[in-house]
Amino acid sequence: MGCFHLTVTSLCFVVVVVGVLPLSLDAQLDPSFYRDTCPKVHSIVREVVRNVSKKDPRMLASLIRLHFHDCFVQGCDASVLLNNTATIESEQQALPNNNSLRGLDVVNDIKTAVEQACPGVVSCADILTLASEISSILGGGPDWKVPLGRRDSLTANRTLANQNLPAPFFNLTQLKAAFAVQGLDTTDLVALSGAHTFGRAHCSFILGRLYNFSGTGKPDPTLDTTYLQQLRQICPNGGPNNLVNFDPVTPDKIDRVYFSNLQVKKGLLQSDQELFSTPGADTIPIVNRFSSDQNVFFDAFEASMIKMGNIGVLTGNKGEIRKHCNFVNKKSVELDIATVASEESSSEEGMVSSI
């Protein structure tokens, strides 16, 4: 109200400027960041991802999820890639990640290829972001210019991963809250949930919906009964480890079918179906728009992926450019020394035995 009143205009102006400041710092990211230092980075990442996806089409989905799980925990800083060490409690064993994250080895292959071309220049956080955009293209989704220049964290936080990553049994209120913490709005929630247009889930995440929803002894009423029977075939009661396609229609493609599935009660997770089946929700018209026009979904997906990729980034001289994505550089040096030492000792043994 007050912002339109002349006498308080300058006060509102100050508030607005302060509020916008963190965003303009994020804007230090730049699609041409590696133009001089690693001009081929996009094509290198693309070649590795394309090679892997020929044998394993699901990897495109796994790489996008890895980026999401990075960004929601202390920002897009590759913290999710850090392994357990004496000082790091890896996020990889957080509840939403344990036995579920995929693609760590692919990221390491990308890093090796990129290091060969331009050593010490490209961050693991940028590799995750580039791999996500490339996975979108290869999955039939939109392409976009990826803002770059992220640096890698020196820390990880498993507690924060457990706290920040949304759960598949969240209702709409909880989903919106989890996204709001990251500065993401309701449109971002719906657009980014559209990533569940491809990939797989473990049956463990839907057994409740299929056999005993919220302790009712009955299935989730917002689940189509034919689809329910199909899912029960794939996921027998008490069988948590099988995999089920997110999209029964086009399982490996990014398209608007995810949203038309929601309209006919064929969302896989409760968190998916909540977007359409929560009575009176403001997400329903968004689902309808994305379902009726794929270009509208693609434009929104692109915008929200860029927004997600900007969360809490480290730039300038913050963090570091990791040599190995699973370890901070200090630790990598120790491991290098250990490798050299063991090579030296084995070559000494070789000399001794040859005498």
Ligand X SMILES: *[C@@H]1O[C@H](CO)[C@@H](O)[C@H](O)[C@H]1NC(C)=O
Residues belonging to the binding site for substrate are 166
Residue with smallest beta-carbon separation from ligand HEM: 199
CA–CA dist 256, 169 (Å, integer): 23
Which of these is catalytic: 5, 42, 67, 69? 69
Nearer residue to ligand HEM within complex by CB, 41 or 235: 235
CB of 76 to ligand HEM, least distance (A): 12
| Burial readout 145-175 (b: 16 or more C-beta within 10 A, e: otherwise) | ebbbbbbbbbebbbeebbebbbebbbebeeb
Nearer residue to ligand HEM within complex by CB, 37 or 98: 98
CB of 142 to ligand X, least distance (A): 24
Select from 157, 270, 273, 310 the one that contacts ligand X (CB under 6 A).
157
Q: Does 205 bind ligand HEM (CB under 6 A)?
A: yes
CA–CA dist 124, 128 (Å, integer): 6
69 is catalytic: yes
Q: Among ligand X, ligand HEM, none, what binds residue 175 when CB lies within 5 to 8 Å by partner kind? A: ligand HEM
| Measured CA angle at 98 (ends 132, 307), to 5 deg | 30
Residue 109 host element (H or E): helix 104-117
Q: What angle separates helix 104-117 from helix 41-55, to the nearest 10 degrees?
A: 150
Q: Among ligand HEM, ligand X, none, what binds residue 193 when CB lies within 5 to 8 Å by partner kind? A: ligand HEM
Output the CA torsion 344→349→354→355 (10° steps). 100
Nearer residue to ligand X within complex by CB, 91 or 188: 91
Show which residues are catalytic: 69
- Footprint of ligand HEM on this chain (CB under 6 A)? 58, 61-62, 64-65, 68, 100, 102, 166-168, 170, 175, 192-193, 195-196, 199-202, 205, 269, 271
